[in-house]
Amino acid sequence: MEPVPVSPTSPTELRARQVLNDAYRALELLEAEPNPIDARIYYFAMIALLRAVGHVLDKVDCASNNALKTASARKYNEMKKEPDNYAVFFHFIEAERNLILKEYRSNAELVVPLFVITDVATGEEVLYGDGDDTTFPMFIFEDGPFAGEDARDIAPRAIAFWDTYLGELELEVFAVSRAQCFPPITTGVTLPKPVPE
């Protein structure tokens, strides 16, 4: 059976928003995934989708609307003049996408957290977490503008960036914004439990 193409229901609905929604879903899957290999796959997919938002905006949405094409080109050119003000795009979305799709690697190191907690009553140290279902892999940046941060914490900012970016274009061109203000995802909170001895 041939896949049925999904198309916007009105001229003011951007296909790029569908891609953004899928990127948000990839983040939900990433946040809930304790397996490091599966987490890496979700992370890479999420990054590819985040970058695809801009490509779909340019190649699909702007292709059929000259006013949108003009506004989008102007907005992107303004961003390129001050890349440090748009670090989430240039140093996270674009840089990560380029590494992942061209070299199959990331600037963020995959880390499976382990925790050592001292039992106050006995003074013994207890090791928590071993990559099982109690911990969630993190993707830690060692350098650059996101040094020390987990990519799972940067991703919501990237989603908010695109949501705002698209919303501003929609408001300018269609006089209506479809910005969604995506809710925070909390399923990936690491809840350690003692590791059996």
pLDDT digits 0-9 by tens, 157-195: 999 999 999 999 999 999 999 999 998 876 554 434 444
Question: How long a stretch of residues is the chain?
Answer: 197
Above 70 in pLDDT, residue 116?
no
Which pLDDT does position 119 carry in this prediction? 72
What value, to the nearest 5°, has the Cα angle with vertex 156 and ends 163 and 85?
70
Strand-pair category, 115-118 with 138-141: unpaired
- As for how many domains the chain has, the answer is 1
Above 50 in pLDDT, residue 11?
yes
pTM over 0.85: no
- The mean pLDDT value for 136-140 works out to 90
Which pLDDT does position 188 carry in this prediction? 56
Strand-pair category, 125-128 with 115-118: antiparallel
Which pLDDT does position 5 carry in this prediction? 41
Residue 185 near residue 31, CB atoms below 8 Å: yes
Percent of the chain residues past pLDDT 70, beyond the cut: 81
pLDDT digits 0-9 by tens, 142-165: 999 999 999 999 999 999 999 999
Q: Which residues pair with 150 in a beta bridge?
A: 140
| Per-residue tokens: 62 | 């702007």
The kind and range of the H/E element at 139 are strand 138-141
187 domain-assigned? no
Which pLDDT does position 124 carry in this prediction? 76
User: For residue 194, what are the contacts with CB-CB under 8 A and spacing of at least 6?
Assistant: 126, 127, 128
161 domain-assigned? yes
pLDDT digits 0-9 by tens, 51-97: 999 999 999 999 999 999 999 999 999 999 999 999 999 999 999 99
48 domain-assigned? yes
| Per-residue tokens: 83 | 């890349």
Question: What's the helix, strand, coil split of the chain in %, to 5?
Answer: 55, 10, 35
184 domain-assigned? no
191 domain-assigned? no
User: Where is pLDDT greater, at 196 or 83?
Assistant: 83
86 domain-assigned? yes
Which pLDDT does position 141 carry in this prediction? 96
Integer Rg of the chain from CA: 20
User: Among candidates 92, 194, 69, which has minimal Cα distance to 146?
Assistant: 92
131 domain-assigned? no
Domain, as residue range, for 39: 15-107+147-174
Residue 163 near residue 179, CB atoms below 8 Å: yes
3 domain-assigned? no
